[in-house]
Amino acid sequence: MTKNYLPRVAGRQTMSLLLVFVLALFGAQQSDAQTITANQIGTQGGYTYEYWKDNGTGSMTLGSGGAFSVTWSNIGNLLARKGLRPGAKNQTVTYSASYNPNGNSYLCVYGWFTSPMVEYYIVDSWGTWRPPGGTSVGTVTSDGGTYDLYRTQRVNQPSIQGNATFYQYWSVRTSKRTSGTITVANHFNAWQSRGWTVGSMYEVSLTVEGYQSSGSANITSMSMGTGGSTTPPPTGGGGSNNIVVRARGANGTENMRLTVGGTQVGAWTLGTAMQNYSVTTSATGGINVEYTNDATNRDVQVDYITVNGTTRQAENQSTNTGVYQNGACGGANSEWLNCNGYIGFGNASTTAGRLLTESVAATSSLDAAAAQVYPNPSTTGNFMVQLPAGPARVTIRNSKGRVVQQLDAVGPATIPVQLDTQPGLYYLQVTGAGESVATRLAVE
């Protein structure tokens, strides 16, 4: 009996531990599949979620990552969403959904701007009524589809700042879909081109909204990334020198900054994929791409920079104080920054107008056929610019070389450009992947 007693106790302990583990695992799975029936905001799966309704019956069930499902019945108004707060102006949203509305409903990317406060919708599908009604003021082509543009106003209605009067910006797809990628920058730029102010980011979310209706939706997958580059407020001020740095981090958390003449004009946290990081500045002098290595296994690779459309390859530069060569920090002719240091790329010129004029006549390897503008000339100052695939910056300068308008977008896309300027000759430059094409614009 004694010999058998201890093993039996150990067996019971093992079974007890196993039972605790199973219950914990079951509880964790239930937590991932949490169902919400009361208005609530929280974080789960790496995203911020919000469930809100005014009356009626509904529920939201949280899935893994960006996934969620929602049902509603005889509601007044209901929103279920997952996304990022504040998000970024170059956010991309990739999703797949099963969407079954019965009545008025939207499947969309949704969010708010502040300063000024604006509610926005990028609608991919809808129920029995196509929002928001009225007449479209234009279109934008993005992510394989065409979207109609609208602006409406809400007076003394609920908002993120209580009851208020505010604008709504709309991009509504001309044909429905329930999966794909939405590149928000293309829509933000289209709204800005019409003089609609795009303020500070408050939210970017994939959203299901129901209004005086019933229905269900299952977002089986949703993920968010970034496409192209977001220009931070340059501390060097605005101006006519456009500098694009193409770089990546080995770890994805490296911090890089750009200085011109010793003045910081841009700073970014890098991802692991090559991206373009852009600034426009009036600063002149030596251009340095700088890196501070604050941890192990972190390095920065700089492919090249462009200055007003002219490419300067990192491996051709004779000053690189951050590369690790021959057993020490410092060297030359390398794309890598392994230590604290910088790559020197020469000087920023004050003759941006002259450089642009030269680039108009130059031969470029960017696909000129994919970067087109029409109508040209224009009697209204309104143009449509067709962009090639990939991140692109559209810059328009007057005959003296001064920047009069600049937009970031991700192609392939066709974006509207509206010039509220005097008749005359202007220069349009499309820069992408370190290369550029330019053409003359005529406003009659």
240 closest CA partner among 354, 403, 358, 357: 403
Cβ pair 308, 356 in contact under 8 A: yes
Residues annotated as catalytic (active site), given as ranges: 119, 209
Cα gap 122→110, rounded to integer Å: 6
Predicted TM-score (pTM) of the model is 0.50
Determine the pLDDT at residue 117: 93
Cβ pair 45, 66 in contact under 8 A: yes
Determine the pLDDT at residue 285: 79
Determine the pLDDT at residue 420: 65
Determine the pLDDT at residue 72: 96
Cα gap 284→350, rounded to integer Å: 7
With b for 16 or more beta-carbon neighbours within 10 A and e for fewer, the 178-205 pattern comes to beeebbbbbbbbbbbbeebebeebbbbb
- Written as six digits, the tokens of 51 are 């469930």
Determine the pLDDT at residue 361: 31
119 closest CA partner among 57, 53, 171: 171
Cβ pair 179, 96 in contact under 8 A: yes
- Written as six digits, the tokens of 138 are 């234009």
Determine the pLDDT at residue 4: 37
Mean pLDDT by 10 residues, the chain (444 residues): 35 46 43 82 91 93 95 94 92 94 96 94 96 88 92 88 91 95 92 87 96 95 71 40 88 84 80 85 84 80 87 85 85 88 79 32 40 78 80 74 73 77 75 65 78
- Written as six digits, the tokens of 340 are 């604290």
Determine the pLDDT at residue 6: 32
Determine the pLDDT at residue 35: 95
93 closest CA partner among 207, 189, 13, 200: 207
Q: Tell me how far the alpha carbon of residue 409 is from its chain's centroid.
A: 9
Determine the pLDDT at residue 179: 95
Residues 6+ positions from 361 with CB-CB distance below 8 Å = none
